[in-house]
Structure 1
Amino acid sequence: MTDRHEVILTCPKGLEGLLLDEAVGLGLEEAREQTAAIRGTGSMEVAYRLCLWSRLANRVLLVLHRFATTNAETLYDGVRAVDWAEHLLPSGSLAVEFSGHGSGIDNSHFGALKVKDAIVDGLRTASGERPSVDKLNPDVRVHLRLDRGQAVLSLDLSGHSLHQRGYRLQQGAAPLKENLAAAVLIRAGWPRIAAEGGALADPMCGVGTFLVEAVMMAADIAPNLKRERWGFSAWLGHVPAIWTRLLEQAQLRAREGLSKPPLWIRGYEADPRLIQPARNNVERAGLGHWIRIYQGDVATFEPRTDQNQKGLVVCNPPYGERLGDEASLVYLYQNLGERLRQACLGWEAAVLTSAPELGKRMGIRSHKQYAFWNGALACKLLLIKVVPEQFVTGQRNASRPADADDVVEPARLSEGGQMFANRLQKNLRQLGKWARKQGIECYRLYDADMPEYALAVDIYGDWVHVQEYAPPRSVDPDKAQTRLLDALAAIPPALGIGRDRVVIKRRERQSGTRQYERQASEGAFLEVKEGDVRLLVNLTDYLDTGLFLDHRPMRLRIAREVAGKRFLNLFCYTATATVHAAKAGARSTTSVDLSKTYLDWARRNLALNGLSERQRLEQGDVMAWLEADRGEYDLIFIDPPTFSNSKRMEGVFDIQRDHVTLLDLAMARLAAGGTLYFSNNFRKFVLNAGLSERYAVEDISAATLDEDFRRNPKIHRAWKIQAR
């Protein structure tokens, strides 16, 4: 075998330029970029050095053969042409990875099978001995890339991907690969900062990946120094003498690097469940004396140790995949920006984000931005110099020196955000006064009053629940997102509440029972007061909160009329109307709903008011239940969904199609002189005219709207129905 080899290094998309510089520095010659890869030439020593020292590559591939292929047979022949006896014993094991298509190769499995057959047939002995397939830990891992009729056959020297350093056995929900973390640090200038004795802080450190990678750079530790098994370990072409010399040199450099006084490197993590896994990873890397990890959120992390200490703040904020995450992420970025301005003057910062528009909420301009890919997720790396000249939402007090006690003015709102804040404050002055006078804790403050800010903002005590109406397709998504972020930034200062008490959800057209499905699992219930009762709401876990605010007047009307009566609540949801009825002296209550979750919630609402006894809760399809029930009721309330196709139902319920049958069944259960209240929020609903011929029907919609919903009179329709 020759001592000059073609070498290909693969990497995550976006890292090619950095990997090119690194590879050239490690001795690769004639190097040039390809998509997600670098190609060059070098000796076996260079190939080994790349395996040991590359912080950015995924794999180091030693090219064995390049050939043209037109079909599966020429592919087989090209692979068979290699003298495989130089690489693998007949008794050995192999794995084949195949990528690309064309030349009669329809899929990677078929291509890999042809490559494997060619190798096995080339090594099969007269006695029939042949290599076996071992996908996990083979003696040799072969890779073939097929591109436009050209096949590149390589030996994978790395084995498992080089990003798997071995220290991170425990990881969080959205782990950042080690080589991507290293690339962020390099782009952020950490090698330069570390050489100058600078510090490093990660205020959202997760399981500590940035911290460990930073120390390995600062202490001159080869990233793969502790790897025990390589793709070349059992390869017949392996040259142990060269590898052993390189390994000993790397071990010496690591010992010398770790013997230096440690730099100030700190991680902070708000989730207590990640603290111990992060510390375990640090200890596995052997870096416990360099790195300290503390529990703390972004608003309180303190990277400064003294006035002269400067360094780098690096972080990868969470991406936000759950219902309500937009609000928390806006405030997370705002808090990060505030801490940088207040505690990190003179530092540099690097923020890897999948939402660059959120990065603008930090209130500091980035001087450089780089595109990165975290798997399939497009990200931007924002590089920031934390100096007053870069601040866009606050200014340092010019009359005082920049020290740890400097106060930064609160973030200024955009023009649109200020307009939104002004409208909230105007509504709060009017509706807040009304709500206090009526003893109402939960009410709608804003309901798309300004068309460009299509939100519903509801007050729940000292919490704010925000629903974003999905914008029409004619609206530019980027503009809609900017307006949403402007509005979220405006809510806390406009209403004088903490950012951690704002929850946001997106409301779209719902089908089936989706609006009732669990969206998160925080399980945090808030106790609120309405009239004479206490009710439990959940602002985070479901699209709706458990309390339909627009039905407040209907619930209070029921409370006024129900004393001594038998009350039936159909499609009862969390039975808030039942709680009012029972508290107001109903002789009995019966509540029916298909959802066990909401009936359990109903029990909790009743128990909260000391009403657990004599209140009947029934789980079932309302239509089927009515057909089977033989009870008699003096007051009936029906507030059905527009549409439902639950698996527990027989068929599909459609309010427009089925309301006549529903009302006829319910009226059959209404006692003489009784009243049925029927309501729904389907905007296009039309009450069947024939119902007025059989019953006394009165539209009471206007009388069931309180002050907070008069801006949106179509929120629901309501009727009072009695026997003639």
Structure 2
Amino acid sequence: MSDRYELFLTCPKGLEGLLIEEAVGLGLEQAREHTSAVRGMADMETAYRLCLWSRLANRVLLVLKRFPMKDAEDLYHGVLDVDWQDHMLADGTLAVEFSGHGSGIDNTHFGALKVKDAIVDKLRTPTGERPSVDKLNPDLRIHLRLDRGEAILSLDLSGHSLHQRGYRLQQGAAPLKENLAAAILIRAGWPRIAAQGGALADPMCGVGTFLVEAAMIAADIAPNLKREQWGFTAWLGHVPALWRKLHDEALARAQAGLAKPPLWIRGYEADPRLIQPGRNNVERAGLSDWIKIYQGEVGTFEPRPDQNQKGLVICNPPYGERLGDEASLLYLYQNLGERLRQACLNWEAAVFTGAPDLGKRMGIRSHKQYSFWNGALPCKLLLIKVLPDQFVTGERRTAEQRQVEREQAQAAADEAPVRQFNKNGNPIKPAPAPVVEQARLSEGGQMFANRLQKNLKQLGKWAKREGVECYRVYDADMPEYSLAIDLYQDWVHVQEYAAPKSVDPEKAQARLFDALAAIPQALNVDKSRVVIKRRERQSGTKQYERQSAQGQFTEVREGGVKLLVNLTDYLDTGLFLDHRPMRMRIQQEAAGKRFLNLFCYTATASVHAAKGGARSTTSVDLSKTYLDWARRNFSLNGFSDKNRLEQGDVMAWLESCRDEFDLIFIDPPTFSNSKRMEGVFDVQRDQVQLLDLAMARLAPGGVLYFSNNFRKFQLDENLATRYQVEEITAKTIDPDFARNSKIHRAWKVTAR
């Protein structure tokens, strides 16, 4: 065989430029870039070195043959023509991977089958012995790439992808591949920083991929040093003595690197479930002396081992999986920006993000940006120098003001109790906290904040006077900021109404971020207590479907009762704030009465009726989830007896019911098409049947309240000929919904 080979090094899209630099440094000659690959010439020693030392490649492919190909027969004969006896034994195992199409091959499985058949036919012995297929751990892994009528037949020297270093057996929900993590570290300048003795911190470290890759770079450890099975292990062209020489050299370099004083490398992770898996990965990599992982939130991580240490802060914030998640991440980016400005002055930072618009909200400028791909997701790497002239802050202060603030910070540090001592036992004074300005709101954000503060001032007086603790403070008052914002005591629940298609999505998103940045400042709440959802046109039971699974319930108070709300898991929270006046009316009228609540949801109206002294309450809903929630609401208030919860289709339940009730409340959905009911409920179409069935259950002298929030709803005129009907909508809307008179409509219905 030849002493020089053509090699193809494959890599994730976007890493080609970095890979060609690395490969040339490792000895590849005549190197050229291709899409997701680098091509060049090398001897066997360089091929081994690339397998061992490449931090960026996925695979190292050794080209066995190139040949023109017009059809499947050309493919078969071109592969058959290779001297396969020089590469594997007749009783060996192989796997074939085929990429590309054309020349009559449009199915990669068919192409791989033709390659396999040619190899098997070439090696079949007179006794019938032949290679077999093993897709998991074959002796040889063969690649054939079809490129514009040319077949490129290669042997995979790497075996399993080189990004699989072997240390990461446990990973989080959205893992970053090891070679992509290494590429990000290289782009961020970590090799230079590490050579200068710099530190590294990852405030969202997950299971520690950045940390391990960074430590291996700093300690001069070959990324695949511990790999035992290679694609060339059973290859007949393998030169074991040459491989052992290179491996021994890499082992000696790793031992020398690990013998050096370890750099300060720290990871912080908010999710306690990832701490031990991360530490296990670090231990498997043999880097426990270099890397420490702690549990901690982004806003509290402390990257500085001492006030003179400098280094790199690197992180890969979560991208978000559901509608509205990206908006929720705004505060995470703001917290990260604040922490960089407060604790990382003169450091460098690298933020790898799938949402670069959020990166702009950190309050600090990036001096460079690089494009990457994380799988199929386009991403940006934002490089930042944490220097005051890069901060995007509020109004500029004078030099005198800055000096006064620095002196005040130093005085506070001098007076602080000593908590650390150096190796000689002398006290180490804490460094003064840096003076950091709040990130400046945009013009639109400030305008939105002003409106929020105005609303809060006006509605806050009313709420305090009436004892209302949960109310709407903003409801799309400004068309550009189409949000509904509700206060649940010290929590803020934000619903973004999806922008119409006529609005530029980028502008809509920018306005949303402006508004979200303003909310904590304007309402004086902690960012961690702002919950964001996106509300779109709903059909059927979609509005009741679970959006998350945090299971976090918050107790709130209303009209002397306690109720549970869930601000995260569903589109609605369990408490319709616009029905507050109706619930209070029911409480006031319920004494001694038999109360029926149809389409009861979480039965908040029933709890109010029980509080008002109802003789009994009956609450009907199709959802077991909401009836369980209703049961908890009753229990929270000590109401257990005489409060029935019935699961079932309301229409069917009414048809079978023979009880009488003195007070009935009906608040149906606009549509319902649950699998547990027959047909589809349509409030406009089915209103007469619904009210007739309910009125049949109303005792003499009783009252029925009917409400719904279908904006185009028209009450059937025939109902007024059979019953006494009075629209009471205006009496059921409090000041916090005064701007939105169509939030619901309500009627009082009695017998004639």
Which residue of 2 is the match for residue 347 of structure 1? 347
- Quick one: distance in 2 between partners of 1:377 and 1:194? 29
Indicate the SS of the match to 1:682: coil
Report whether the alignment pairs 1:468 with 2:506. no
| Superimposed CA distance per residue, residues 386-441 of structure 1 (whole angstroms, 9 cap, x where no aligned partner) | 11111112579731389642220222211111111100100000001100110011
Distance 1:398 1:3 in 2: 68
SS of equivalent to 1:485 = helix
Corresponding residue of 1:582:
610
Q: Name the structure 2 match of 1:29.
A: 29
Residue 418 of structure 2 corresponds to residue 414 of structure 1: no
Pick the aligned partner of 1:621 from 641, 649, 658.
649
Query: Is 1:108 equivalent to 2:87 in the alignment?
Result: no
Within a 5 Å distance, the mapping from 1:151-166 to structure 2 comes to 151-166=151-166
Aligned-residue offset at 1:11? 0.5
Q: Which residue of 2 aligns with 1:237?
A: 237
| Alpha-carbon shift at residue 110 of structure 1 (Å) | 1.2
Contact 2:334/2:361, CA 8 A, preserved across alignment: yes
Aligned counterpart, 2:580: 552
Aligned partner of 1:520 among 533, 537, 548? 548
- 1:305 deviation in Å? 2.0
SS of 1:299's partner is helix
Look up the SS of the partner of 2:19 in the other structure: helix
Structure 2 equivalent of residue 700 of structure 1: 728
Query: Do the aligned partners of 1:697 and 1:719 also contact (CA within 8 Å) in 2?
Result: yes
**Identity of matched residues, %:** 79
Distance 1:109 1:586 in 2: 71
1:274 shift after superposition: 1.1
Q: What's the Cα RMSD here? A: 1.3
Structure 1 unaligned runs (5+)?
A: none
Give me the whole-angstrom Cα distance separating, in 2, the residues matched to 1:370 and 1:325: 24
2:688 alignment partner, SS class: helix
Q: TM-score under structure 1 normalisation?
A: 0.99
- The question of 1:187 aligning with 2:187 is answered yes
1:49 paired residue number = 49
Structure 1 counterpart of 2:497, which letter?
Y
User: How far is the alpha carbon of 1:372 from its aligned partner?
Assistant: 0.7
Give deviations 1:543-596, integer Å, cap 9, x for gaps: 100000001111111111121111111000000000001111111111100000
1:398 to 398, 402, 407: 402
1:280 aligns with: 280
2:669 corresponds to 1:665 = no
Aligned pair partner of 2:486 in 451, 458, 463: 458
Residue 662 of structure 1: CA displacement? 1.1
For residue 17 of structure 1, report the CA deviation from its aligned partner: 0.3
Mapping for residues 13-92 of structure 1, pairs under 5 Å = 13-92=13-92
CA deviation string 1:645-678 (max 9, x = no partner): 1111111111111111111111111112211111
Instruction: Name the CA distance, whole Å, in 2 between partners of 1:435 and 1:235.
Output: 79
Q: 1:307, 1:404 within 8 Å by CA — same for their partners in 2?
A: no
Offset at 1:82? 1.1
Cα distance in structure 2, aligned partners of 1:685 and 1:148? 62
Give CA-to-partner distance per residue, 1:22-65, whole Å, 9 cap, x none: 00101111111111111111111111111000000001111111
1:504 is paired with a residue whose SS is strand
Aligned partner of 1:185: which letter?
L
Distance 2:96 2:685 in 1: 60
Q: Give the Å deviation of 1:323.
A: 6.3
Partner in structure 2 of residue 369 of structure 1 = 369
Matching residue within 682, 686, 690 for 2:718? 690
Counterparts of 1:462 and 1:324, CA distance in 2:
21
Q: Which amino acid aligns with 1:665?
A: L
Match of 1:715 in 2: 743
Identify the match of residue 595 of structure 1 among 623, 635, 651.
Answer: 623
The alignment partner of 1:349 has SS state of strand
CA distance in 2, matches of 1:331, 1:705: 33
SS of the equivalent of 2:292 reads: strand
| Aligned partner of residue 153 in structure 1, secondary structure | strand
Residue 449 of structure 1 corresponds to 477
Residue type at the aligned position of 1:489: A
1:307, CA displacement in angstroms? 2.6
State the SS of the aligned residue for 1:586: coil
Structure 1: distance between partners of 2:672 and 2:74: 59
Match of 1:562? 590
**How much has 1:324 moved relative to structure 2?**
5.5
Displacement of 1:121 in angstroms is: 0.9
Greater Cα offset, 427-436 or 291-300 = 291-300
Distance 1:328 1:706 in 2: 29
- What residue identity is the alignment partner of 1:16? E
2:319/2:326 contact within 8 Å kept:
no
Whole-Å separation in 1 of the counterparts to 2:388 and 2:375: 35
Output one character per residue of 1:86-117: Cα deviation in whole Å (capped at 9) or x when no partner: 11111000001111112221221111111111
1:301 aligned residue: 301
Map of 1:490 onto structure 2: 518
For 1:7, the aligned partner's letter is: L
Q: Which residue of 2 aligns with 1:321?
A: 321
Cα distance in 2 for partners of 1:70, 1:667 equals 80
Render the CA deviation track for 1:342-380: whole Å, top value 9, x for unaligned. 111111000000111111111110000001111111110
Question: Contact 1:327–1:502 at 8 Å: present in 2 too?
Answer: no
Partners of 1:67 and 1:481 in 2: how far apart?
52
Please name the residue that 1:141 is paired with: 141
Q: Say if 2:327 and 2:512, in contact at 8 Å, map to a contact too.
A: no
Question: Which runs of structure 1 show a deviation greater than 6 angstroms over 4 or more consecutive aligned residues?
Answer: none
* Residue 641 of structure 1: aligned partner: 669
The match for 1:481 is 509
Give the superposition deviation at 1:325: 3.3
Q: Name structure 2 gaps, 5 residues minimum.
A: 411-430
Q: Shift in Å at residue 326 of structure 1?
A: 3.9
Q: Matched residues in 1 for 2:45 and 2:78: separation?
A: 27
Aligned-partner SS, 1:372: strand
Give the aligned partner of residue 683 of structure 2: 655
CA deviation profile, 1:251-299 (whole Å, cap 9, x unmatched): 0111111111111111111111111111111111011111111111111
Does structure 2 conserve the Cα–Cα contact (< 8 Å) formed by 1:99 and 1:108?
A: yes
Give the Cα–Cα distance (whole angstroms) in 1 for the partners of residues 144 and 684 of structure 2. Answer: 61
In structure 1, what is the Cα distance between the partners aligned to 2:150 and 2:716?
A: 71
